[in-house]
């Protein structure tokens, strides 16, 4: 069962513009959400997280928004840079071990 | 410490053979996880250890799969009688015990079963 969904397999944006990656989840018991970035031939790298008690977390160019009523979170990258081109995975945690990942969105930032 | 290390990076094997992968976590991390990732999908949880104890196994982990972490440091994942459907990237991750400490992933072992 796909409890975490990233419905856009790919996204292309121009350098300097905002990138918005979206993620939807179905299980209201998830209490922590994370975004990972993955380059080819490397494992996923932790990017930013948000607790279910918050609706926004910001770290430099990266901001994650959580809308619990809609069971939706998004990652905003502004300004986007060519080095941000990667696959981005949304993940949700239920307890310590039960981390569910979305299928990923491939972001391409064009110079 | 340079992060989570996985060996080998690539493994090609014939159907029916046994394979074993190794993971060396970040040294101060108590938790160690195994995930599997197939093309176009996100990582899927297989199992996790806290120190040497295997605390949870996914139903994805069939009887042909076994994981160990004998001394609470490195871990091995063995697949017996490999099948073509086992072809995937096997990712290891580690984390600290406290709270929602993020997982730190290795670069994975890509298994191809011919």
B58-70 mean pLDDT:
91
Q: What torsion do the CA atoms of B101, B102, B106, B110 make, to the nearest 10 degrees? A: 120
A66-81 mean pLDDT:
97
In the three-class reduction of DSSP (H, G, I as helix; E, B as strand; rest coil), residue B86 is classed as helix
Least confident of A23-32, A97-106, B4-13, B86-95: A97-106
A74-84 mean pLDDT:
97
- For chain A positions 10-69, those within 8 Å of chain B (CB to CB) are 32, 34, 36, 41-46, 49, 51
> CA-to-CA distance for B113 and B96, rounded, in angstroms?
33
Inter-chain touch A46–B104, beta carbons under 8 Å? yes
Cβ atoms A44, B95 nearer than 8 A: no
Q: What's the pLDDT at B101?
A: 80
Residue B103, pLDDT above cutoff 70: yes
Inter-chain touch B45–A100, beta carbons under 8 Å? yes
Cβ atoms B20, B8 nearer than 8 A: no
B35-63 mean pLDDT:
90
Residue B17, pLDDT above cutoff 90: yes
Q: Find the CB nearest A32 among B100, B105, B108.
A: B100
pLDDT confidence tier of residue B39, bands split at 50, 70 and 90: confident
Count CB-CB contacts under 10 A for residue A90: 27
| Cα of A11 to nearest chain B Cα, Å | 15
Q: What's the pLDDT at A97?
A: 65
pLDDT confidence tier of residue B58, bands split at 50, 70 and 90: confident
| Cα of B106 to nearest chain A Cα, Å | 5
Q: Find the CB nearest A43 among B45, B100, B107.
A: B107
**Placement of tokens 């969105």 in the chain:** A105
Least confident of A66-75, A89-98, B81-90: A89-98
> CA-to-CA distance for A41 and A22, rounded, in angstroms?
24
Encode pLDDT of A42-57 as tens digits: 999 999 999 999 999 9
Helix (H) or strand (E) holding A10: strand A10-14
Residue A91, pLDDT above cutoff 70: yes
Calculate what percentage of chain B has a pLDDT beyond 70. Answer: 97
Q: Find the CB nearest A49 among B4, B102, B108.
A: B102
- Mutate which of A2, A23, A35, A44 to disrupt the B interface (most B C-beta within 10 Å)? A44
Inter-chain touch A34–B56, beta carbons under 8 Å? no
A53-71 mean pLDDT:
96
């Amino acid at each position: 069962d796909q409890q975490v969904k990233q419905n856009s397999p790919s996204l292309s944006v121009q350098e300097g513009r905002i990138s918005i990656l979206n993620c939807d989840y179905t299980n209201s018991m998830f209490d922590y959400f994370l975004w990972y970035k993955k380059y080819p031939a490397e494992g996923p790298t932790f990017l930013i997280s948000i607790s279910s008690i918050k609706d926004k977390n910001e770290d430099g160019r990266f901001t994650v928004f959580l809308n619990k009523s809609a069971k939706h979170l998004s990652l905003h990258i502004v300004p986007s840079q060519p080095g941000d081109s990667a696959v981005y995975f949304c993940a949700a945690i239920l307890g310590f071990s039960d981390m569910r990942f979305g299928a990923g969105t491939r972001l391409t930032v064009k110079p | 410490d340079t992060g989570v290390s996985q060996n080998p990076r690539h493994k090609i094997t014939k159907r029916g053979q046994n394979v074993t992968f190794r993971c060396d976590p970040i040294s101060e991390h108590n938790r160690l996880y195994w995930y599997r990732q197939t093309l176009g999908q996100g990582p899927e949880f297989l199992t996790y250890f806290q120190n040497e104890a295997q605390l949870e196994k996914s139903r994805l982990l069939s009887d042909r799969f076994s994981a160990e972490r004998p001394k609470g440091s490195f871990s091995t994942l063995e697949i017996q009688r490999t099948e073509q459907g086992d072809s995937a990237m096997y990712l290891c991750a580690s984390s600290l015990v406290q709270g929602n400490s993020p997982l730190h992933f290795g670069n994975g072992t890509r298994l191809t079963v011919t």
